[in-house]
Every structure is written in C-alpha cells, then in structure tokens.
Amino acid sequence: MLRDLWEEQKYIEKPILDEQAFEEIGIVLRDSHNYTLEIKLTLWKNWCFEEVTGIVGQVDYQLKRIRIDMENDDMEYILLDSITAAERM
C-alpha cells in the first residue's frame, strides 16, 4: 500500500489551458501541417508529461486527433485533448 501511495504522489494533474494557449497550439499545428515544419508537442498521458517531435501529417476533425510523422518513418496518432504545449523546432 505504501508503494502505491508513493507512486500516486508522482502523478501530475492535467493542466487547464486557457483560450490563448489553445489558439497558440492551433497556430503551431496549422503551420506544421501547411508548411511541413517540425514541431515538438508536450502531451499529458498516464498522469505524466511526454514529448513528441515530428510533422503534422493529417488532421482528423471527427475523431479530434492528429497524425504526427516522425523522422524514422514512424507515425503516431495523438488526441487533441492530450496536447498541453506545442512549439516550432
């Protein structure tokens, strides 16, 4: 039980983004998709933060997700709700 309690203390709450943060993320995603610019995304997954680098290859408005194309021909689908920050490389 103590081990579980210790692990739970490491958990990070999902940050609440304001309208300006959403707009900035949208601009970076749009620029990456339109101009094939590499970006770095900070994601909130499984109670912690994770970073992904790549180019937005596809935007799926129905499922609210994007496809990130990475350097080694891998791709990853990311839910828009999990993105907490985006920046150009």
Per DSSP, the residues of 2-22 read HHHHHHHHT--PPPPP-HHHH
What token pair was written down for 66?
A: 């994007």
pTM of the model as a whole: 0.85
Task: Quickly name the fold that domain 41-89 has.
Answer: SH3 type barrels. (2.30.30)
Show pLDDT as tens, one digit a residue, over the chain (89 residues).
777 766 666 778 889 999 999 999 999 999 999 999 999 999 998 888 999 999 999 999 999 999 999 988 899 999 999 999 999 99
Taking the C-alpha atoms of residue 5 and residue 20, their distance in angstroms, rounded to an integer, is: 36
CB 88, CB 33: distance < 8 Å: no
